[in-house]
Amino acid sequence: MTTALKIAQNLYCSGNYKESIEAYQEILKNPLFPEEEGIAHTMIACLYECCDCFASPERGDTVREHMKKACDLSCPLALLYAPSPVPMELTDQEKDKLVNQVRVLAEDGNTLAMQMMGSFMDEKISPEEGYARARAWIEKAVGLGDPKAMINLGKLLQVKEFDGHDDGLALSWYHKASKRGLSYGTYEEGCCCLYGEGTDRDISKGFALLEKAAEDGSDIACQELWHFYSGMKPVGTQFFNNPEKALKYLHLAYDRGSEGAALEMAISVLESQTADKKVLQEVMGYLKEAEKRGSVKAVTMMGQLYYNGFLGKHREKAIPYLKKAAKFNEPTALVLLGSALMNGRGIRKNVPRGMEYMEKAAEYGDSEGLAEMAWYFSDNNRLKEALEYAKKAVEKGAPSGEAEYLLATMYFKGRGVELSNEKGKKYLQAAVEKGCSRAISLDRLIRQKTLMEGLKEDDLLFR
């Protein structure tokens, strides 16, 4: 670490955030080499993101601007920072190389690098050993005075699966971070009070701390208060409806430039009113603002509105939005783009390319793409592939029940599998439990037929 970087970091770790920013900005005027410049941009972004003294409508733009510059300089801290403003497809080898570069920075004393090392759980070692290594790195950053590391240490201490779980100690670190000017620490402190973690449960104190965190600059506290006060989320079994306060905190985060708040504004308008043309224009306005602030989910939602026909029959207009979100591996966008390609909706049909997007969607958490692939193969009488992808979708927990319904019909009819009423009923019941409308209709039909014709369900085979 250069002397200039060390001075800037020491100012940050001692709580002199504005002086730290000035020190990093001095580095940018005449950097010794690109690595120093990239680290300075990344640290400025992180300071603006986490320190209350920089809360303003321009904060999000400032964070994105510096992270983008750091990524352009191939700074490993920025390239591996989540969420990165630059979509990247990294091979395992490329990611390992970046992790090794971050490790070098951590060993050289960079506290952000130490915390990032604490988030990289090596799959080759046991979870317990991974946890111990993560905690050791983060405790090292805490020892140097990094207030954000105090919050991350608190989170590790609240992981119940590992030895060393201590909610009371976690709460004390949240409090220390709060005292150092990080409203995220105040937010976590408030959550501990709300749920009685590390302290006696005190809902009034919890809400007071969340409201303080929101006023001090925490966007996540604003959005959590919006969820609580709008009745969307309970504390335990209690709901706290207060529409006036709900809107106050949502607008507070929105006015400060929060991308998440802009997205919440769009969703709340869409869900609370009939989706006529005027309402949809208002929704699109909020979504475009969220997109401008960096929300990938907002880009996906605009694609969804066009793809599902809410904004007229213009599916081709959905494609640019879906492609943009897919570059960030947003699961829903990957599924919709894959579906569009497989079926030629709004874009030229390209089944192999569509399947690639569906597979990637499952990799990033949306298993419905696998179910849709299974149905595609079934419709084209490619039953071996249909069976393979339907079972994959079930294993991955696809929520709609469409994969289970397909498997039920395959076993009932003996399509690509040995005919089995027993397996068919098992998958049908699973699809019904997930609320699949076609499964519910088929289940009702079976019950009606067995009742009317005096048959046992085992006697009823579907042809």
The neighbour count for residue 82, using CB atoms within 10 Å, is 6
Angle at 310 between CA 355 and CA 258, to 5 degrees: 85
Cα separation, 327 vs 106, in Å, equals: 29
Question: Residue 259 in contact with residue 298, Cβ under 8 Å?
Answer: yes
3-state secondary structure of 212: helix
**Tens-place pLDDT, residues 357-408:** 998 888 888 888 889 889 989 988 999 999 999 999 999 888 899 999 999 9
For 254-274, what is the mean pLDDT?
85
How many other CB atoms are there within 10 angstroms of residue 114's CB atom? 26
Residue 381, SS3? coil
Tokens of 461: 């085979």
Cβ atoms of 408 and 439 closer than 8 Å = yes
Would you state the pLDDT for residue 57? 81
**What angle (nearest 5°) sits at the alpha carbon of residue 214, between those of residues 210 and 220?**
85
SS3 238: strand
Residue 401, CA distances (Å) to 288, 376, 391, 394, 408 in order: 33, 16, 12, 8, 11
Tell me if 273 sits within 8 A of 74, measured CB to CB.
no
Contact 192, 204 (CB under 8 A): no
Residue 325 has pLDDT above 90, yes or no: yes
Flag whether pLDDT at 456 surpasses 70.
Answer: no
Asked if residue 458 has pLDDT above 60, the reply is no
Over residues 214-233, the pLDDT tens digits come to: 999 899 999 999 999 988 88
- Identity of residue 230: S
- Structure tokens, 60: 């999000």
User: Alpha-carbon distance 352 to 231, whole Å?
Assistant: 44
- pLDDT tens column, 395-453: 988 889 999 999 999 999 999 999 998 999 999 999 999 999 999 998 888 887 766 65
Alpha helices in 233-350 (DSSP H): 243-255, 259-272, 277-292, 296-307, 315-326, 331-343
Question: What is the mean predicted confidence (pLDDT) over 239-251?
Answer: 92
| Residue 148 structure tokens | 């954000």
Specify the pLDDT at position 428: 93
Kindly list the structural domains of the chain, giving each domain's residue range(s) and its CATH number in brackets, ordered by start.
1-165 (1.25.40), 382-463 (no CATH)
The pLDDT tens digits for 152-174 are 999 999 988 888 889 999 999 99
Q: Indicate the average pLDDT of the chain.
A: 89
Share of the chain above pLDDT 90, in %: 60
Q: Which two tokens stand for residue 392?
A: 């994959």
The whole-number pLDDT of residue 461 equals 47
Question: Which tokens sit at 2?
Answer: 């250069």
Distance of alpha carbon 210 from alpha carbon 105, whole angstroms: 35
Q: Please report which confidence band the pLDDT of residue 463 belongs to, taking 50, 70 and 90 as the band edges.
A: very low
| Measured distance CA(257)–CA(59) in Å, rounded | 7
Rounded CA separation 25/149 (Å): 23
Residue 12 and residue 23: Cα distance in Å, rounded? 10
> 330 and 300 in contact (C-beta within 8 Å)?
yes
Q: What are phi and psi of 235, to 5 degrees?
A: -105, 105
For residue 453, count CB atoms less than 10 angstroms from its CB and return exposed for 0-12, middle for 13-18, buried for 19 or more: exposed
pLDDT, one tens digit per residue, over 287-306 is 999 988 888 999 999 999 99
Q: Which residue has the tokens 């750091």?
A: 70
The predicted model gives 30-45 an average pLDDT of 95
DSSP 42-61: HHHHHHHHH-GGG-STTHHH
Q: What is the pTM of this model?
A: 0.77
Instruction: Decide if pLDDT at 253 tops 50.
Output: yes
Provide the 8-state DSSP code for 457. G
CB atoms within 10 A of CB 100: 10
CA distances from 55 to 64, 175, 183 (A): 14, 20, 10
Q: How confident is the model at residue 20 (pLDDT cuts 50, 70, 90)?
A: very high
Q: What is the pLDDT of residue 383?
A: 93
Q: What is the C-alpha to C-alpha distance for residues 183 and 54, in angstroms, rounded to an integer?
A: 11
pLDDT tops 90 at residue 94? no
Assess whether pLDDT exceeds 70 at residue 78.
yes
The pLDDT of residue 446: 83
Q: Is the dihedral of CA 450, 454, 458, 462 positive or negative?
A: negative
CA distance 137 to 267: 39
- For residue 301, what pLDDT is reported? 93
